[in-house]
Each structure stands twice: as C-alpha cells, then as structure tokens.
C-alpha cells in the first residue's frame, strides 16, 4: 500500500486518535481535524512531533478545502451524555458534516469512509443484528439526534455514490472500548472502571440484564482500515464489532473482579429508548474483509483498567 495523504475528521477523539496513530505507523501523511468539543489534545499530543502529522482545529459543519487521497469521517459526539448536550449540533455534525466531507471527496476524487453506528438499528426487534435489518428508531426521542443523524448520513453517502460515483465505504460500529475513552463520557465500560477504581458504587441502569457486545479498540481500527482499503465495489454498510454478548451485570462483576474493587452495585431507572439488546452479525466483515476480533473481553479490560489506573493516579 503506497503512502497516502489521509484526512481523519474527529481525529483527536477516542477512536480518531487511535486511527491517526495507526495510519502514521503505516507510513501515511495524516491530517487530523477536530473542533475539540469531545476530542482532546492530549489524545494526539504524542503525535505532534511526527513530521507526517498535521492538526487542524476545524468544525466540519463548515466546508474544508484540502487535497487528500482518503477521508475517514469520524467527527460526531458518540456518547449519550455528549450528543444529547447539544442535540441540534449533533445532528448538524452528522448531516451537514457528511455533506461537506462528501463534497470534498467528490472534488478531489478521494475515497471516503463514514463511521456509522449500531445505533442505526435503534432498540432492535431483531436479534442479533445483520446489515439487512432496517432498525427500530424513535425519530422524536432524546437519542434521535444521534441515531437519525447517522441514518441520514448513510443515506447521503449512498446518494453521492449513486449520483456522483463517489467511492464510499460505510461501517456500523458496535460498542468499542479501550485507552483514551473520556472518563466523563458516560459510556458503560469507562463508567464501571472509573467507579470500581475509585471505590464508588457501580451504577447499572435498568435491571442489568440488557446486553452489549464489546470490541477492543485495536480490533476495531484494523477493521476500519481494512474496510477503507477493500475492493472498489464493496461499499458496505458492514458491521464492525465483537459478537461476544454480555449483560451489564456480567460486565460490572468482571470489572469488580479485575480491579479487586470493594464497590457495590446500585441500580437506576433505564434511560428512554436505551436498547435492551445489541449484538452484531459479522459474517459480511469476515467474508469481505477477512476480519474478526482477536482480543477477548478480559484481556481488553485489563489493558483499559491499566490506562485508567494511570490516568486517575495523575488526577
């Protein structure tokens, strides 16, 4: 694979920073764009000295004029705490941001990848979820700014592909975790680990029997890059996630065990429209990308706990 100039929007975020790091290690020139609403400079501070890395503060709801070969469009708050904080801004980022990045890809003839989400399936009535499932989303609920924003972005990607022959790739990301997740972002893995390490009660919403599938960040980044560099005829959408399925209670108990924590589990009401089940069918990724996750939950949790232990020791 020859050296490319690659744009990563949302590049200072949790996933974006890991993607930038990997692309640089693969020998590419990387332009990281972020408005730092949820992205953090410390996520990419170690990359600044790399001569092949460029950091631009920019909001993709405004057009960007730049010459690149590939675009990874990751820009958008991804945790409920952050995307509900400014719901209108969230949907603008998904929709107007997609239009701006697709326009850029069209102008410079770049391949563009959209980081979509398992949230396009909503609170699924089909389990597990394949790419053929069209979802069960409440279009007027508090999560709709994210769910429907991402669904509309997928529509835009396929319309630009059909109408303008833009080379697109669409991935649907299931729950992913690992180092650099913001400890304040309200996501379940970071919440549980921070609470366990701090000796606080571990908060489970609902009865703890709702399920999620957890993919370690390194596995996901490999899947993202394989999708971008897949054959020209393959557009996706393709599910990327770990098909291992765990209840919230199982996750909490596992983290208590791995941290040797004395934290007790407490229960709170389930938020509106919170999905009860989430598990990807990854047959398409296995077939088209020769990709499947390799890092098991316990190993990934150990690495993530080690990261948060260090972060909390500095605070």
Structure tokens at 7: 């744009």
Q: Are 284 and 222 in contact (CB under 8 A)?
A: no
Q: Is 146 a catalytic residue?
A: yes
Alpha-carbon distance of 149 to 97, in angstroms, equals: 10
Q: How many CA atoms lie within 13 A of 304 on its CB side?
A: 31
Q: How many CA atoms lie within 13 A of 107 on its CB side?
A: 13
Q: How many CB atoms lie within 10 A of CB 180?
A: 21
Structure tokens at 106: 């069209």
Q: Are 19 and 74 in contact (CB under 8 A)?
A: yes
Residues 6 or more apart from 2 whose CB is under 8 A from it?
none
Q: How many CB atoms lie within 10 A of CB 313?
A: 8
Q: Which of 146, 160, 177, 216 is catalytic?
A: 146
Q: Are 298 and 239 in contact (CB under 8 A)?
A: no
Q: How many CB atoms lie within 10 A of CB 234?
A: 12
The per-residue DSSP string of 126-143 comes to: SSSB-TT---B--TTSTT
Active site residues per annotation:
146
């Amino acid at each position: 694979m020859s050296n490319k100039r690659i744009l990563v929007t949302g590049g200072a975020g949790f996933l974006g920073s890991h993607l930038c790091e990997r692309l640089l290690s693969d020998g590419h020139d990387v332009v990281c764009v972020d408005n730092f609403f949820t992205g953090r400079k410390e996520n990419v501070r170690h990359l600044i000295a790399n001569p092949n890395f460029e950091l631009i503060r920019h909001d993709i709801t405004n057009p960007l004029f730049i010459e690149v070969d590939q675009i990874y469009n990751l820009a958008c708050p991804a945790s409920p705490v952050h995307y509900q904080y400014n719901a209108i801004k969230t949907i603008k980022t998904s929709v107007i941001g997609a239009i701006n990045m697709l326009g850029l890809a069209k102008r410079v003839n770049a391949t563009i990848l959209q980081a979509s989400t398992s949230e396009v399936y909503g609170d699924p009535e089909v389990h597990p979820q394949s790419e053929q499932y069209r979802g069960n989303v409440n279009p007027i609920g508090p999560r709709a700014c994210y769910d429907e924003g991402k669904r509309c972005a997928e529509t835009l990607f396929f319309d630009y592909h059909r109408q303008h022959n833009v080379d697109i790739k669409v991935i649907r990301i299931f729950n992913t975790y690992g180092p650099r997740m913001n400890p304040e972002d309200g996501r379940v893995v970071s919440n549980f680990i921070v609470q366990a390490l701090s000796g606080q009660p571990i908060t489970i919403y609902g009865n703890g029997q709702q399920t999620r599938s957890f993919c370690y960040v390194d596995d996901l980044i490999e899947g993202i890059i394989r999708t971008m560099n897949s054959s020209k005829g393959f557009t996706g959408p393709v599910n990327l996630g770990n098909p291992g399925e765990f209840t919230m209670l199982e996750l909490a108990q596992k983290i208590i065990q791995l941290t040797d924590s004395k934290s007790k589990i407490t229960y709170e009401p389930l938020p509106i429209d919170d999905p009860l089940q989430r598990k990807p069918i990854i047959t398409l990724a296995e077939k088209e990308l020769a990709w499947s996750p390799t890092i098991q939950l316990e190993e990934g949790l150990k690495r993530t706990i080690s990261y948060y232990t260090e972060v909390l020791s500095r605070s």
